[in-house]
């Protein structure tokens, strides 16, 4: 989930240096794979279980230790089999930021490549775009993140997590009307954290009230990007 406190500018600058290369498809590798690649949203029977039971265990997901080797190696295997595995993408980004590296030991590519591969593999996957946008945003590269977050909202316009994160980004950019618009959508769909609401109310940009969805409208509670903690600065 987005936070208004990016990691150190030094790390962001280092990652920015490799960003151009990360967007180059040959550099980020071909998507062909011995197992898969499969769509994480609609995995073949047993395929996801086979991969996750060996390469995306609880310890790998937490970034504690690898199961068959290094954390980076297990995440690499998972993301080559399921390029748009949003939880694995989020884990890779989290571990990289925590350890202040641009490429995990055992991973074949820099972190951003895995996001590029995800949206290249399934450009209609809004949650993959959302995860990509969050990663870039957390590097302190808000301008680069904005079109990625907007793309996610175009693809999954009623997803509460996507609207919340885009609302945070618009608030940071002082585009308060759009921040309110996406905040209302997030809370209409029962997003659980009041951080964005509080930010807008405290700034005098919104009264915090949300009109209920029309009767019969879908009230989505879609999974976000595997993060459940509210942004620190939005508390």
CATH class, 9-234 region? mainly alpha
Domain ranges of the chain: 9-234
Per the prediction, the chain carries an average pLDDT of: 87
Q: What's phi and psi for 59, nearest 5 deg? A: -70, -35
**pLDDT tens, position by position, 128-141:** 999 999 999 999 99
Q: For the chain, how many helices (H) and strands (E)?
A: 12, 0
Bond from prior residue into 37 cis (ω within 30 degrees of 0)? yes
pTM of the model: 0.83
Asked if 148 and 125 touch (Cβ cutoff 8 Å), the reply is no
CA-angle at 107, arms to 10 and 152, nearest 5°: 70
**pLDDT tens, position by position, 20-48:** 444 444 489 999 999 999 999 999 989 99
Contacts of 36 (CB under 8 A, 6+ apart): 47, 80, 81, 82
* Dist CA 73 CA 50 (whole Å): 16
Average pLDDT over residues 148-169: 98
* Dist CA 107 CA 29 (whole Å): 12
């Amino acid at each position: 989930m987005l936070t208004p406190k990016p990691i150190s500018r030094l790390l962001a600058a280092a990652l920015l240096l490799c960003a151009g290369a990360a967007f180059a498809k040959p550099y980020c590798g071909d998507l062909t794979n011995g197992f898969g690649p499969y769509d994480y949203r609609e995995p073949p029977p047993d395929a996801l279980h086979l991969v996750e039971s060996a390469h995306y265990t609880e310890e790998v997901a937490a970034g504690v230790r690898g199961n068959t080797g290094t954390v980076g190696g297990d995440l690499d295997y998972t993301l080559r089999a399921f390029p748009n595995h949003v939880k694995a993408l989020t884990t890779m980004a989290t571990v990289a930021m925590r350890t202040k590296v641009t490429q995990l030991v055992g991973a074949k590519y820099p972190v951003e490549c895995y996001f590029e591969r995800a949206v290249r593999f399934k450009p209609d996957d809004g949650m993959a775009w959302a995860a990509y946008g969050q990663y870039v945003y957390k590097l302190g590269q808000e301008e680069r993140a904005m079109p990625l977050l907007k793309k996610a909202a175009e693809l999954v316009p009623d997803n509460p997590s996507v609207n919340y994160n885009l609302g945070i980004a618009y608030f940071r950019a002082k585009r308060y009307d759009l921040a309110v618009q996406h905040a209302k959508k997030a809370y209409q769909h029962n997003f659980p954290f009041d951080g964005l609401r509080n930010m807008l109310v405290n700034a005098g940009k919104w009264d915090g009230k949300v009109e209920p969805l029309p009767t019969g409208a879908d009230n989505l509670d879609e999974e976000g990007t595997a993060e459940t903690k509210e942004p620190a600065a939005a508390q």
